[in-house]
Amino acid sequence: MGKNIYLFCSQGMSTSLLAQKMQTVADHHQLPVTVVAKPHGTLPQTVATEAVDVIMLGPQVKYLYEETLAAYGKRRPVILIDAADYGAMNGERVLKQALLGLKQARQ
């Protein structure tokens, strides 16, 4: 079974662009990964109903990081996306961060 990476920002608009780029990179390298973008408001519901392996927050909601980490960080990595990578919509770097988080969580 592959891993599900969830990206959250306020409305899920710009993160959907980044998610698309990350998915392209993942597919290119044949990594068993699904990248999904959603509005932050749907986080509790998403975690309750779907298999969320990594939570990544866009920099525009960095003020929600602590809260999200406290609520959901025990069972999966919660990562704040680097602002420069986010701005450049660098799918490869953000995907690497996600996979790195997964790897560290396993150790």
Partner 1 sequence: MMNALEHTLMPVAEKLGRNKLLVAIRDGFLITTPLIIVASLFLLFNNFPIPGWSEFWAGIFGEGWQAWLSNVSRAVFNLVGFLSCFGTAYAYGRELKTDAIQAAGVAIVAFIILTPTDLTLKGGTSIIGLDTEYLGTNGIFLGLVVALVAVRVYAFAALRGWTIKMPAGVPPAVADSFAALIPSGLVMGLFFLIRIGMGLTPFGTVHQFIFESLQTPLKGAGNTLFAQIIYGLACTLFWSFGINGPAVANSVFAPVTKVLTMENLDAFEAGRELPNIFTDPFSNFFTNFGGGGSTLSLLIVMVLFCKSKRIKELGKLSLLPGIFGINEPIIFGLPVVLNPIILIPFNLVPLMNLLLSTLVTRLGIIPYTTGVALPWTTPVGFSGYLATGSWVASVYQLLLLLLGCAVYYPFIKMLDKKYLADEQVAGASLDETDELSFDDLALDLDAEA
Residues with a known catalytic role? 9
**Which CA distances in Å does 72 have to 30, 64, 66, 69, 107?**
28, 12, 10, 5, 18
Sign of CA dihedral 12, 13, 19, 24: positive
Adjacent-strand bridge partners of 7:
37, 56
CB of 72 to partner 1, least distance (A): 14
Name the residue nearer to partner 1 (CB basis): 36 or 99: 99
Name the residue nearer to partner 1 (CB basis): 36 or 89: 89
Q: Which amino acid is at 100?
A: L
User: In the complex, which residues of this chain contact partner 1 (CB under 8 A)?
Assistant: 1-3, 9-11, 13-14, 17, 29, 31-33, 39, 41, 44-45, 58-64, 66-67, 83-84, 86-89, 93, 96-97, 99-100, 102-103, 106
